[in-house]
Structure 1
Amino acid sequence: MYLSNHRVVSLAWSGCLQTPLIPAPEMPFVCLTDFQAQARERLSKTTWDYIEGGAGEGFTKEDNIAAFKKIRLRPRYLKDVSEVDTRTIIQGEKISAPICISPTGFHCLAWPDGEMSTARAAQAADICYITSTYASCTLEDIVATAPRGLRWFQLYVQRDRQLNKQLIQRVESLGFKALVITVDVPITGNRRHDIRNQVDLKTNLLLKDLRSPKESSGPCLQMSSIDPSNCWDDLSWLQSITQLPIILKGILTKEDAELAVKHNVQGIIVSNHGGRQLDEVLASIDALTEVVAAVKGKIEVYLDGGIRTGNDVLKSLALGAKCVFLGRPILWGLACKAAGQLLRSIGT
């Protein structure tokens, strides 16, 4: 598949017609850094620090972006590019372009209706949206606002196995098409900005109880309830309670990629959590080649972390990724209430 740098995506997103919190700027958005700058002006310092912050000194967060710029293209010309087709297939489902939405929590911090806007946009764009365990809207509301959208569900494995089972059964019944297990958060990363700002996810961010509205009792999700003992052997239990494809998010080495194949998962998202978990690990794009080589085409490999331009998408695909996922930029687009323009700007 050929991706033009000026036409990676040509999509019209819905959910962008409401009056923004702040009047839109006169200058048009032409690249992701424009959205980043406007989002920073519109959001509170604490919210901005939470979205942008990395773990430790932020080395990996910055390296995610810088690593792409070290890769050079070898263009081949005199090819017919009068018609460009960006469509592809992930886990058997067709999408309009290999650019989808990573799981990030608390979208209501960026825009009042949060994940509902994200879901509407993804549906209109005909791309995949991975909904976070820590969404700030109920799963039912997200599905109701975009019933035809392609959705995967991201799970932080909880200490309470019954709660994991309830969540998985619930997303299955709501039509989610895959289960994304985040493997790189045995504990929350050392995010210095959040510590300085005294961010408390259990109170300041009003962590949503993700039980079904029909359930009147039962355990409530908390960040502290993530199971630090979760390991490879637990995958067989998860596979026994769901028919959904299982994708592992957070793999960075060939050794773990080989174990993923051995444990019969259906995909890997090469990711370092946007540099928010363990600082000084490989940039995602630098880890991609060894993961792709290790799986030997047996499962699909995706990538997130540091994608900011159409060239970044092209490099990811050329190095073996089936699709890329965007995290922070989606929140910038929500804050500017201009998500459609944001995806189109990736081609510039």
Structure 2
Amino acid sequence: MTGLTQRRRGPDEQPRPTDAAPPYLDLDLLEARARTSLAPEVFDYYAGGAGAEVTLAEAPQAWRSWRLRPRVLRGVDRADLGTTLLGSPVRTPVGVAPWAYQGMAHPDGELATARAAAAVGALMTVSTSATRSVEEVAAAAAGSPSWFQLYRQHSPGHTDDLARRAGDAGYRALVLTVDLPVLGRRRRDLRHDFALPAGLRMANQPGPGSAAPEPGPPWTTADIGRFAELSGLPVVVKGVLRGDDAVACVRAGASAVWVSTHGGRQADLVVPSAHALPEVVDAVRGEPAPDGTDVEVYVDGGVRSGVDALVALALGARAVFLGRPVVWGLATGGADGVAEVLAGVSAELAHALLLCGAAGPADTGPDLLVRAGWPPR
């Protein structure tokens, strides 16, 4: 059972599209239910952050450092959430961020998440550290656009092969996660001596008996164009928190940049995504993508409501991506739980847009926002 009103789905029934707004989305209740349904070490793996977890704690509050300035008398009586992400149509700008080991949350793992995202019309980003293979998850998405996220892991040859497989499997973009030169110090995982539960494996990594991993040299901006060529896909660079880094990535061949703190799981005490986003958006404005279109900017990190999503769109994000709320939906309700989280946040976003006199994501902008505490004293 999730934090929403839910009915039981038949064994062969796909998650239903959610045209009607769910009655109420309570993500705090959903997280509490996930805590009781998951083993403590699994819950802490998903919920925890790096260091003292300052970045983790600050992320949701950072979105609330803004206040809305609604427009009135604009003749708007309907909000259409439809947009495109790197040219792929989606029914909502609320997507699924990459997160590892989904088989720990539900037996169907990434397959359930992919089916749910397809049913809602949301874009899913599939983790390198998935418990289902590149090809299996692509097939489960049933033609809906999805992206594949790539880490620098194992041998350079294996990483290159994953990039090629993503292109062959029909993914629409390759997402390079670049904020992981080393793994963050995640105290909860260290306390539990966390390991993947028996019976699960990283499906996209070499199997037992393979040669020991031999990581190659650290990635640089030169790898952006190389991975684009290997995969035949546009490249999104994820983990960008600075304007100068964003410009360097774009000039090296990135089609989009993704503002992210990795869920607060890498460096602690870093700037929240909500505060880094305006600098990145301003920096890449006017920088062309490889195909000559405008560079798109995405964001994740602490988005917990449709109002948070509206703030992100008004600051210049093309889309927002959810991590932990989707985890809790999967853990408590499988594919239906994921679908209802995505639909619930999307419904809240549509409602907030209407209240601000905006007809859709493209009808937002910085004029809708002011920093909290305004006017200054």
> What are the ranges of 5 or more consecutive residues in structure 1 without an aligned counterpart?
1-12, 20-27
Distance 1:334 1:159, change over 3 A: closer
For residue 103 of structure 2, give the secondary structure of its aligned residue in structure 1: helix
Among residues 302, 318, 321, which one is paired with 1:322 in the alignment?
318
Among residues 226, 241, 250, which one is paired with 1:237 in the alignment?
226
> Match for 2:273: what amino acid?
S
Are 2:57 and 1:68 equivalent residues in the alignment? no
Are 2:307 and 1:311 equivalent residues in the alignment? yes
Structure 1 range deviating more: 247-256 or 70-79? 70-79
Which residue of structure 2 lines up, in the alignment, with residue 196 of structure 1?
191
Among residues 267, 287, 292, which one is paired with 1:278 in the alignment?
267
RMSD of aligned Cα (Å): 2.6
* Deviation string, structure 1 residues 5-29 (Cα, Å, up to 9, x no partner): xxxxxxxx9995559xxxxxxxx86
The Cα shift of 1:267 comes to: 0.5
Distance 1:118 1:209, change over 3 A: closer
CA contact (8 A) 2:240 2:246 kept: yes
Q: What is the CA–CA distance in structure 2 between the aligned matches of 1:205 and 1:309, rounded to whole Å?
A: 35
Which residue of structure 1 lines up, in the alignment, with residue 277 of structure 2?
288
> Match for 1:30: what amino acid?
L
Q: How does 1:30-45 map to 2 (within 5 A)?
A: 30-45=25-40
* Deviation string, structure 1 residues 268-320 (Cα, Å, up to 9, x no partner): 11000010000000100100000000001431100001101111010000000
Which residue of structure 2 lines up, in the alignment, with residue 117 of structure 1?
112
Distance 1:44 1:94, change over 3 A: same
Structure 1 range deviating more: 301-310 or 334-343? 334-343
Q: What is the CA–CA distance in structure 1 between the aligned matches of 2:250 and 2:280, rounded to whole Å?
A: 11
For residue 339 of structure 2, give the secondary structure of its aligned residue in structure 1: helix
CA contact (8 A) 2:56 2:263 kept: yes
The Cα shift of 1:174 comes to: 0.9
> Match for 1:248: what amino acid?
V
The Cα shift of 1:124 comes to: 0.7
CA contact (8 A) 2:156 2:215 kept: no
Q: How does 1:322-341 map to 2 (within 5 A)?
A: 322-337=318-333, 338-341=337-340
Which residue of structure 1 lines up, in the alignment, with residue 344 of structure 2?
345
CA contact (8 A) 1:151 1:176 kept: yes
The Cα shift of 1:217 comes to: 8.5
Distance 1:219 1:240, change over 3 A: farther
> Match for 2:81: what amino acid?
T
Identity %: 37
Give the number of equivalent residue pairs. Answer: 322
Structure 1 range deviating more: 62-71 or 137-146? 137-146
Which residue of structure 2 lines up, in the alignment, with residue 7 of structure 1?
none
Which residue of structure 1 lines up, in the alignment, with residue 354 of structure 2?
none
Among residues 146, 163, 176, which one is paired with 1:181 in the alignment?
176
Q: What is the CA–CA distance in structure 2 between the aligned matches of 1:245 and 1:15, rounded to whole Å?
A: 39
For residue 268 of structure 1, give the secondary structure of its aligned residue in structure 2: strand
For residue 67 of structure 2, give the secondary structure of its aligned residue in structure 1: coil
> Match for 1:178: what amino acid?
A
* Deviation string, structure 1 residues 298-344 (Cα, Å, up to 9, x no partner): 31100001101111010000000000011111110001112222223
Q: What is the CA–CA distance in structure 1 between the aligned matches of 2:49 and 2:205, rounded to whole Å?
A: 29
> Match for 1:345: what amino acid?
G
Which residue of structure 1 lines up, in the alignment, with residue 41 of structure 2?
46
Which residue of structure 2 lines up, in the alignment, with residue 207 of structure 1?
201
Which residue of structure 2 lines up, in the alignment, with residue 250 of structure 1?
239
Q: What is the CA–CA distance in structure 2 between the aligned matches of 1:324 and 1:77, rounded to whole Å?
A: 25
Q: How does 1:259-274 map to 2 (within 5 A)?
A: 259-274=248-263
> Match for 1:67: what amino acid?
A
Q: How does 1:132-171 map to 2 (within 5 A)?
A: 132-171=127-166
CA contact (8 A) 1:186 1:226 kept: no
Q: What is the CA–CA distance in structure 2 between the aligned matches of 1:17 and 1:285, rounded to whole Å?
A: 40
Which residue of structure 2 lines up, in the alignment, with residue 8 of structure 1?
none
For residue 343 of structure 1, give the secondary structure of its aligned residue in structure 2: helix
> Match for 1:267: what amino acid?
A
CA contact (8 A) 1:31 1:345 kept: no
With normalisation by structure 1, the TM-score equals: 0.86
> Match for 1:316: what amino acid?
A
Distance 1:138 1:296, change over 3 A: same
Distance 1:304 1:331, change over 3 A: same
For residue 68 of structure 2, give the secondary structure of its aligned residue in structure 1: coil
Q: What is the CA–CA distance in structure 1 between the aligned matches of 2:286 and 2:64, rounded to whole Å?
A: 26
CA contact (8 A) 2:117 2:339 kept: no
Q: What is the CA–CA distance in structure 1 between the aligned matches of 2:67 and 2:314, rounded to whole Å?
A: 11
Q: What is the CA–CA distance in structure 2 between the aligned matches of 1:238 and 1:286, rounded to whole Å?
A: 29
The Cα shift of 1:83 comes to: 2.0
With normalisation by structure 2, the TM-score equals: 0.79
Q: What is the CA–CA distance in structure 2 between the aligned matches of 1:198 and 1:218, rounded to whole Å?
A: 24
The Cα shift of 1:34 comes to: 2.1
